């Protein structure tokens, strides 16, 4: 599973004096100036001052640490890691430096090393064991490393310590999914959304879980909620289209043509879609030659090229109905054969274009669907045009 949102919780630390060797006065002056510049977001100037402080006092551990923070904020991760390691070499008991080094290493994909640093930070500073964020980041690192059982345990510690943080439940849900516990994952995402229903990505991820679990109606509802919250969320839009197609495929399972010709008028959603297919496919008559092509009539077999084109159009017609908010249970197709047609246009290279028209009575509309067929017989939807006739009544 590929979730839309990969969450990394970062605990922010104020830049300030910490445990370290007392620098000489000039180094301290440059350090404090750098600290003020960094807090105002003037990173380039702050980096210059930290370098001056370190040049005057190479053993100034906290200057190396804050230089690392500034470099990381500038996107210079490798240089930041070097400074964090120097700070730890000078002051091995600085738990914060171990933790921030863990964050930088995890961001670089060096997960095993990050886990070591997180655990060292908790070992050095017992109060970190009561900080939910520490367990959360350790859990994510363990999860990235494939240690799912340990990751789930750490996620649960985060939730135990901070039960009102929605993100902890969502991240636990992701770990549970990867561990094959999909029902439990769904339950955790529900809790996340209950705590904070405004996070579009959580709705999208819950939709993904429902989809993977075969709960298509629930998946559609969550994807639509995600799009409502964030109309630019392309993941949710793409997955919504995918699940709607899966939903139609599961409902639209045409019976053999011989059976279809004897079927009673349809009423339910699945049967209603059958009706859209059968209305097009079961057209008795003779071939008529028209200027724009050949009207394919007669008894159309489901396995024939015309039958496949009609079936593909019926599926996409069902998708269009759903997208427009129509109830498929109320779908009614015109019973008159002349209200439906399948046209064929061929070309010298062996490709074909099928045009299928259908008249619906409920909703009152016509659809014209064009299917393109390659010389090797592969068919795909070219376009579906929809005309609402309700205003013309």
The tens digit of pLDDT for each residue in 351-368 reads 888 777 777 777 777 778
Give the per-residue pLDDT at 130: 65
Give the per-residue pLDDT at 177: 92
For residue 318, give Cα distances in angstroms to 131, 324, 342: 51, 10, 18
Q: Choose the most confident range, by mean pLDDT, from 61-75, 231-245, 261-275.
A: 61-75
User: What mean pLDDT comes out for the span 4-30?
Assistant: 50
Rounded to an integer, what distance in angstroms lies between the CA atom of residue 276 and that of residue 315? Answer: 9
pTM: 0.54
Residue 283, strand partner residues: 298
Q: What are phi and psi of 169, to 5 degrees?
A: -70, -40
Label the pairing between strands 293-295 and 341-346.
Answer: antiparallel
Instruction: Tell which residue, 120, 126, 128, has the closest CA to residue 101.
Output: 120
- pLDDT at 231 exceeding the cut of 80: yes
The two tokens of residue 153 are 């345990």
Rounded to an integer, what distance in angstroms lies between the CA atom of residue 162 and that of residue 136? Answer: 10
- pLDDT at 19 exceeding the cut of 50: no
Give the per-residue pLDDT at 328: 65
Alpha-carbon 231 to chain mean position:
13
Residue-wise DSSP of 6-73: -------------SSPPPPHHHHHHHHHHHHHHHTT-HHHHHHHHHHHHHH-TT-HHHHHHHHHHHHH
Percentage of the chain exceeding pLDDT 70:
72
CA atoms within 13 A on the CB side of 122: 17
Residue 207, strand partner residues: none
């Amino acid at each position: 599973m590929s979730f839309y949102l990969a969450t990394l919780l970062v605990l922010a630390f104020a830049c300030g004096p910490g445990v370290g060797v007392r620098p000489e006065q000039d180094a301290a002056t440059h350090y404090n100036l750098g600290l003020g510049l960094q807090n105002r977001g003037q990173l380039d100037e702050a980096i210059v001052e930290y370098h001056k402080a370190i040049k005057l006092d190479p053993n100034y551990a906290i200057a190396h640490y804050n230089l690392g923070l500034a470099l990381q904020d500038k996107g210079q991760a490798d240089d930041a890691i070097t400074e964090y390691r120097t700070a730890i070499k000078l002051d091995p008991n600085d738990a914060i430096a171990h933790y921030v080094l863990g964050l930088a290493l995890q961001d670089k994909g060096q997960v095993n090393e990050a886990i070591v640093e997180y655990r060292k930070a908790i070992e050095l500073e017992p109060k970190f064991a009561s900080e939910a964020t520490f367990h959360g980041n350790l859990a994510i690192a363990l999860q990235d490393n494939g240690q799912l059982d340990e990751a789930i345990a750490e996620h649960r510690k985060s939730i135990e310590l901070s039960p009102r943080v929605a993100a902890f439940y969502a991240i636990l849900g992701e770990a549970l999914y990867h561990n094959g516990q999909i029902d439990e994952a769904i339950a955790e995402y529900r809790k996340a959304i209950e705590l904070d229903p405004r996070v579009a990505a959580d709705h999208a991820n819950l939709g993904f879980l429902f989809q993977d679990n075969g709960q298509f109606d629930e998946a559609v509802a969550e994807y639509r909620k995600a799009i409502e919250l964030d109309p630019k969320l392309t993941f949710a839009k793409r997955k919504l289209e995918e699940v709607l197609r899966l939903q139609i495929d599961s409902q639209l399972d045409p019976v053999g043509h011989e059976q279809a010709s004897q079927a009673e008028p349809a009423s339910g959603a699945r049967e209603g879609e059958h009706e859209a297919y059968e209305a097009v496919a079961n057209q008795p008559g003779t071939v008529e030659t028209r200027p724009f092509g050949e009207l394919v009539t007669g008894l159309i077999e489901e396995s024939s090229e015309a039958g496949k084109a009609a079936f593909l159009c019926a599926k996409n017609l069902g998708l269009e109905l759903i997208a427009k908010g129509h109830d498929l249970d109320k779908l009614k197709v015109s019973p008159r054969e002349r209200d439906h047609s399948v046209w064929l246009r061929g070309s010298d290279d062996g490709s074909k274009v099928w045009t299928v028209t259908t008249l619906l009575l409920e909703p009152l509309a016509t659809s014209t669907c064009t299917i393109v067929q390659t010389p090797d017989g592969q068919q795909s939807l070219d376009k579906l045009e929809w005309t609402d006739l309700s205003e013309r009544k």
